[in-house]
Amino acid sequence: MTSVDMRTPGALEEAERYTAHNYHPLPVVIAEGDGAWVTDVDGGRYLDFLAGYSALNFGHRHPELIAAAHAQLDRVTLTSRAFVHDQFADFCRGLAALCGKELVLPMNTGAEAVETAIKVARKWGYRVKGVADEQAEIIVAADNFHGRTTTIVSFSTDPDARADFGPYTPGFTVVPYGDLEALADAITPNTVAVLMEPIQGEAGVLVPPAGFFAGVRELCTANNVLFIADEIQSGLGRTGKTFAIEHEGVVPDMYVLGKALGGGIVPVSAVAADREVLGVLKPGEHGSTFGGNPLACAVGVEVVKLLETGEFQRRSAELGERLHTSLAKLIGRGVVAVRGRGLWAGVDIDPALMTGREACERLAERGVLVKDTHGSTIRLAPPLVVTGGELDHAVAQLEAILNP
Ligand SMILES: *Cc1c(COP(=O)(O)O)cnc(C)c1O
């Protein structure tokens, strides 16, 4: 194919011309996806090792998820929560059971679920803990990523995410991730919650020091503070368990879920907690037009079923070993450090060789799609349906660009 016949350059130019430049996409225009693979408009095939930032844990167009969506499209897609629909209870019951919690509250995007958790924690603080009006404090970690709303960016420590978007929402205290002493010092009688990612994804797949979250749990329990685990990216099989926090032997008071909960088809997010916490919300106090809609719930029911089998968690654990074993062999050969759990890896490329962005561009040329996080770090997060052979192939491409 000569370049004049290629559709990619024109499609890229069009995409640039008509959109706000809030992303810097790799020069690939995807037309189709299937499992761990995508095909571009010129027929080029790529292994998708970003998997929609873990929204595609079950791969592109998982047959059972697609079938559930199709079936629901032919019945009813939206009712609003003003009425109950016949997929709602199934989804909420299944998800609550998966989380080991009494109640769930479905929303759409991850940021909305985080906002929901913040509102619930504050209200719990006032109505259950007895914090004085307007005084509630929530402790978060430095280098967090919890979404893009004005309140959430208020407690971001990333200047790109935060600068120029003030005035900022008060009521948040930032402590270093993994620093128990700093957390203990930050807790006051007005602290209602600690909100953290069990593994910090956007920060570069940072795994906390062993015992950190056990300590967080202890401090929260001792001080009557809710521990909220943002499992939007780390949860639902990504790390080899249903929830990444399970690796720490810890149960949070509230789970915040999103991304893979929608099976890569529709945006579905939720918070899950016991009645003592989530029960503080009364009619009219919180809501969402699309939250918990029939299409979302029908897909969500199947997502929960897939997770109940344990098959994806097992694959992620087993293949994750294989991925981390082969990545470890690249340390000193273009790679400085590797972190992660299961099918999730943050790989620090030797900055003397190339930036993370350059690594992503060269990998794309070799048919592997990944995304840089900061500086020279790239993240690998293939769909959990990836095969061992595909993992080996992707790591071989990384090896090739680093050792030409
Ligand atoms: C992606 C993400 C969010 C935000 O989810 P959106 O659906 O993009 O709003 C929040 N927290 C974590 C840990 C995430 O990875």
The model's pLDDT over 333-366, given as tens digits with 9 standing for 90+, comes to: 999 999 999 999 999 999 999 999 999 999 999 9
CA dist 239 and 313 (Å) reads: 7
- Average confidence score pLDDT of the chain: 97
Determine the distance separating the centroid of ligand 1 and the alpha carbon of 332, expressed in angstroms.
33
Q: Which atom of ligand 1 is nearest to the CA of 112?
A: 9
Q: What is the pLDDT of residue 132?
A: 98
8-61+312-402 topology per CATH: Aspartate Aminotransferase, domain 1 (3.90.1150)
| Catalytic residue list | 145, 230, 259
**What is residue 194's predicted lDDT score, i.e. its pLDDT?**
99
CA 7 / ligand 1 centre spacing (Å):
32
Residue 2 pLDDT greater than 60, yes or no: no
Confidence tier at 5 by pLDDT (50, 70, 90): confident
Cα 195 to the chain's mean position, in Å? Answer: 14
Whether residue 108 has pLDDT greater than 60 = yes
Q: Which of 256, 152, 159, 147 is nearest to 198 (CA)?
A: 256
Between CA 364 and CA 35 the distance in angstroms is: 18
Phi first, then psi: give them for residue 124, nearest 5 degrees.
Answer: -60, -40
What is the Å distance from ligand 1's center to 233 Cα? 7
To test the pocket of ligand 1, the residue of 57, 143, 144, 146 to mutate (highest count of ligand atoms within 8 Å of its CB) is 146
Which of 151, 152, 233, 379 has most ligand 1 atoms within 8 Å of its beta carbon, as the pocket-test mutant? 233
CATH class of the domain comprising 75-308: alpha beta
Q: Please identify, by atom number, the ligand 1 atom nearest to the C-alpha of residue 267.
A: 7
The one-letter amino acid code at 25 reads: P
Tell the residue nearest (CA) to atom 10 of ligand 1: 146
Measured from the CA of 114, which atom of ligand 1 is nearest? 10
User: So what's the pLDDT on residue 403?
Assistant: 93
Give the residues surrounding ligand 1 with Cβ less than 6 Å away: 53, 109-111, 114, 145-147, 197, 201, 230, 232-233, 258-259
State residue 374's pLDDT score: 85
Tokens of 6: 């290629």
Neighbours of 16 (CB within 10 A): 10
Expressed in angstroms and rounded, the spacing between residue 111 Cα and the centre of ligand 1 is: 6
Average pLDDT over residues 275-298: 98
Is the pLDDT assigned to residue 1 strictly greater than 60?
A: no
Neighbours of 174 (CB within 10 A): 16
Domain ranges for the chain = 8-61+312-402, 75-308
Q: Strand 103-107: give its sheet, edge to edge.
A: 103-107, 269-273, 254-257, 226-230, 191-196, 137-141, 172-175
Region 293-320: mean pLDDT is: 98
How remote is the C-alpha of 361 from its chain's centroid? Answer: 23
CA of 26 to the centre of ligand 1 (A): 20
Q: For residue 167, report the distance from its CA to the centre of ligand 1, in Å.
A: 22
* Residue nearest ligand 1's atom 15 by CA: 233
Q: Which atom of ligand 1 is nearest to the CA of 108?
A: 7
Helix (H) or strand (E) holding 105: strand 103-107
Residue 284, classed as helix, strand or coil, is: coil
Question: Which atom, in ligand 1's list, is nearest to the CA of 231?
Answer: 13
Residue type, 334: G
Sheet with strand 368-369: strands edge to edge: 30-34, 37-40, 45-48, 368-369
> Amino acid identity of 267?
P
Interval 158-188: pLDDT, tens: 999 999 999 999 999 999 999 999 999 999 9
